[in-house]
């Protein structure tokens, strides 16, 4: 008697997919518009799903629009017919989330890169948890600049009092770099 345990490749190689994400912050700062580009090859699954707090709006595979389906768990996604993946997805993240999930997709990615696009007049103070974020206000400071600002603020405090020292610290901290 033969009993079927598994069909197809019993031990497929891991998925080799990469995610490149562009995020655009709304002018009022309360939400993001996202465009994800997922490329590579999938050997273990035939579906890509994204969960809450993301709202999937449009998906295209190889330039052709795809039907978005929703599962019982509130996840929405698309079925993939080919092992080679060239997918573009647009979605929304509402309510100005301070913590943005790295991917949101129910898949393990080989590499992930994100670019945040800010409206005119906005500037990033700091980003925690990322490997490299060179253009934040906090990362642009050098140890010498911090030392000079503190010395200048202490000088103001010694000459004209602690209130003026605090004003000097705040003013130089905002205007420096």
- Between the two ends of the chain, the Cα-to-Cα distance in Å is 76
176/47 Cα distance (integer angstroms): 49
The string of pLDDT tens digits covering residues 138-165 is: 767 788 888 888 899 999 899 999 999 9
Query: What mean pLDDT comes out for the span 57-79?
Result: 87
Per-residue pLDDT of 123-137, as tens digits, reads: 777 777 666 676 776
Q: Where does residue 8 fall: left (phi above 0), alpha (psi -120 to 50 degrees), or beta otherwise?
A: left
- State the DSSP H helix or E strand holding residue 109, giving kind and residue range, or none if neither: none
Tell whether the model's pLDDT for residue 37 goes beyond 90.
yes
How far is Cα of residue 105 from the mean position of the Cα atoms in its chain? 12
The residue among 73 and 169 whose pLDDT is bigger is 169
């Amino acid at each position: 008697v033969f009993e079927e345990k598994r069909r197809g490749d019993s031990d497929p190689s891991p998925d080799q997919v990469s995610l490149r994400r562009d995020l655009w912050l709304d002018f009022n700062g309360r939400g993001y518009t996202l465009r994800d580009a997922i490329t590579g090859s999938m050997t273990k699954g035939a579906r890509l799903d994204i969960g809450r707090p993301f709202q999937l709006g449009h998906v295209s595979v190889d330039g052709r629009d795809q039907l978005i389906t929703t599962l019982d768990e509130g996840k929405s996604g698309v079925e993939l017919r080919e092992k080679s993946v060239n997918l573009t997805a647009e979605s929304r993240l509402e309510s100005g989330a301070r913590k943005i999930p790295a991917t949101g997709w129910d898949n393990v990615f080989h590499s992930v890169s994100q670019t945040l696009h800010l409206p005119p007049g906005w500037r990033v103070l700091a980003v925690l948890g990322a490997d490299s974020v060179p253009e934040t206000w906090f990362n642009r400071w050098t140890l010498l600049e911090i030392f000079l600002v503190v010395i200048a603020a202490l000088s103001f405090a010694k000459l004209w009092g602690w209130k003026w020292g605090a004003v000097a610290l705040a003013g130089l901290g905002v205007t420096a770099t």
